[in-house]
Amino acid sequence: MRVLGIEGTAWCASAALYDAETDAVLIESNPYEPDSGGIHPREAAEHMSEAIPAVVDAVLTVAENEYGPDAVDAVAFSRGPGLGPCLRTVGTAARALAGALDVPLVGVNHMVAHLEIGRHRSGFDS
């Protein structure tokens, strides 16, 4: 199974393809870098709306070249916690992509995902 994940909870727009059979991961990211100060939610969401299509397209292009037109079996996305405007942008993009690819859509808790990635990569099983 190959899952295309979209992450954009705050400052970085990312897309990744995870292949469960080979444990391979392909990641493309585009960070939001304000000129000064911290993250402004509206500006971060504007960044997401421009960056998400580009990072998703980059991952899809590589995936389709490597695996063919049925490269993606599901789409996952960060559904929270995070900045509301960014989460809405990512959720909309993920729903549109899952619909276009006719694959299941899975919402992922951002904090649980951090824990699961660490557990998976370390080999620790609780």
User: pLDDT tens, 10-25?
Assistant: 999 999 999 999 989 9
Are residues 6 and 97 in contact, defined by beta-carbon separation less than 8 angstroms? yes
Residue 12 sits in a domain whose CATH number is 3.30.420.40
List pLDDT tens digits, range 56-110. Answer: 999 999 999 999 999 999 999 999 999 999 999 999 999 999 999 999 999 998 7
Cβ proximity of 17 and 59 under 8 Å: yes
pTM: 0.89
Type of residue at 78: S
Question: Which residue range forms the structural domain that includes residue 16?
Answer: 2-122
